[in-house]
Chains A and B, each alone.
Chain A
């Protein structure tokens, strides 16, 4: 579903935020992406989503290059940033309609999905209100709903659990499983190692722009916890 080959990105031409990254994510994978602050997690996620350009390498989404065939690639993905910056002047429903219009989701399907997710996240009664009146968690929920409205094949999420209440976090995890069962892939960054360990069938650890470990979670973790492995890898020079 997602194939990253030799991706490198530098902001200043000297230090590499992402350095020769190679990753492959298949349909059905829930892939956790772990790294310290400034390791390059957000840069990689934004590069995959086509938000920032990268210097070299290739990102293929279901065979479509994000560089050379961005529209086809973007039709398959949904990106959720770490901070839910959305069009605050729109109402929740207007924002969802905007996203659905972009992905040409027909009216019946969008109604069905909006109803389903709004009920699930308990925000049905605020969809008519402007997003500016939403709490951080509500904004996060509306962004997630906007991302799910076209049933993406690949979801890219930057720290998706930050700001969500325990129930919403639980529901999001359930959604991850549902999407994966339908053949979609999830790639998300997180600082919560327990979540990654329990939720993800695969993990990747990034350090100073380089992937220092990746693969099946049990194989990577072996007989220690993900936390101890992470601390060990971070310490190594």
Chain B
């Protein structure tokens, strides 16, 4: 059957080890082993920390006889992660797929292609959400008491959970792409609209169940329950798994599967039209004369990175979320100073000062800026350009590293200045925090650059593969988290012996040394590694 043949090809194109990670296992066994170890460690660390959090929460909920809340949390994760994934992928999977020109001339009905594409997109979503579903599901079945029927209903219901969000946000994704394609700065508009939709959806749900004087962070349970009240499939899911209610299970399946099937049938003509438009190039004449501008080499390389960043929405949204959070954080610290202070004392109850919490948050945001871990990979088919030009590989890597620092650090400074004003930090405290942010940003940028040099991924069908699925992206993000943990451990021990400001300065110096070490590696090995890269 053609559907399965197509599926096999699409799955191979999307999920083969080589495509996912850009490494040929047979050719580079050493790298493969290293990779497997890193990935297993990362996955294990994530499952353990995330799982522990929900296992602990489950214990509290079970004591309050509210263990089914875990299923609501699970549903929430499926809901929000599938929104993010669909927003950025649906257009490429359903409405503007890159192999349209290959597939369309073949005697295959468009419906078959569309169904196969949709299935692969769903598989991608399932892979993305299962990492979150597993630990929460485990916590639920552990604390609620294992039930075979419950597990069976859970497994039956699971594939249907993201279907409704997929329908809605596929259309949103397509509409945004169509709307913005009319404008000259379509990519930047696309980034802004995608972020606006995501923040808008989050704000809508956050606003559902809070009175003005309530702190949203203190009222998660109310929020989840509120969502359940307006989004009935969530309650059906909970009823089916927790109370073994067959009717709820059937309702969930019917209300998800039937609209999804109809959606695929109804969007066929739309998919055909948008794909046809995608392969048609209309060049408009521009009466405004083009201006030439000369720049020094390094500056032009950095500007090339800036333009690349803003030209790929998924790249900008993923690697640029940290700076955005820092910006929001800085402004919020001025506006909600008192609420944050009371939240810190009432809820978090951490035995640490506000300065330390600020440091952790700023480092976390900086760790999510990982352009240097993927920007070399994103050269993709254009690699021939930089390889054939008289530019030292070190210069190329340094430009990519510099862009990563420039993307995060100014926002960290901005946030730290505002936070320091809000919380009236002393000058020394402020300077120490600035120092740590600087050395941490330099360090992770250098580590990320080295990771990308070691694990470049030049063969990809869409930029999403590099931004979200490549080794560079995974190690870039998780490596950043690991470096925060390392900073934390060093600080913990130093803080016992000396003043926290000195301890933090010591951590900053360690970060600086690590940065110097990775710069040495980059400068030493980049010519050799560049020569090996296939152009």
Chain A interface (Cβ < 8 Å from any Cβ of B)? 46, 49-53, 70-75, 77, 79, 81, 83, 85-94, 96-107, 110-111, 114, 124-129, 133-135, 138
Contacts and interface: CB of A to CB of B under 8 A. Distances in A.
B292 A129 contact: no
Given A87-B308, A97-B300, A134-B281, A71 B392 contact: yes
A77 B308 contact: no
B5 interface: no
Contact of B292 (A74, A107, A125): A107
Given A53-B531, A85-B382, A87-B304, 18 more contacts: A46-B535, A49-B387, A49-B388, A50-B387, A51-B384, A51-B387, A71-B391, A90-B307, A92-B290, A97-B295, A99-B389, A101-B295, A101-B299, A102-B391, A104-B297, A126-B285, A129-B283, A133-B281
Interface string B499-535: 0000000000000000000000000000000011011
Interface string B460-502: 0000000000000000000000000000000000000000000
B196 to A, nearest CB: 21
B288 interface: yes
Main secondary structure of the interface of B (DSSP, over half): loop
A125 B535 contact: no
B61 to A, nearest CB: 48
B381 interface: yes
A125 to B, nearest CB: 4
B288 A74 contact: no
| Contact-size category for B | 35 or more
Contact of B382 (A86, A102, A127, A129): A86
A97 B304 contact: no
Given A85-B382, A133-B284, A96 B387 contact: no
A153 B217 CA distance: 66
A108 B2 CA distance: 59
A72 B388 contact: no
Interface in B283-303: 283-297, 299-300
Interface of B: 187, 281-297, 299-300, 304, 307-308, 310-312, 380-385, 387-392, 531-532, 534-535
Nearest to A88: B311
A51 B387 CA distance: 5
Contacts of A87: 304, 307-308, 382, 385
A101 B286 CA distance: 24
A80 to B, nearest CB: 9
A93 to B, nearest CB: 4
Contact of A98 (B300, B384, B531, B534): B300
A111 B380 CA distance: 30
B389 A138 contact: no
A135 B283 contact: yes
A70 B392 CA distance: 9
A102 B311 contact: no
30 contacts: A49-B387, A50-B387, A51-B383, A51-B387, A52-B535, A72-B390, A74-B389, A79-B388, A81-B384, A85-B384, A87-B304, A87-B307, A87-B308, A91-B290, A93-B292, A99-B389, A100-B292, A100-B294, A102-B391, A103-B389, A104-B297, A105-B294, A110-B292, A124-B290, A126-B285, A126-B286, A133-B281, A134-B281, A134-B283, A135-B281
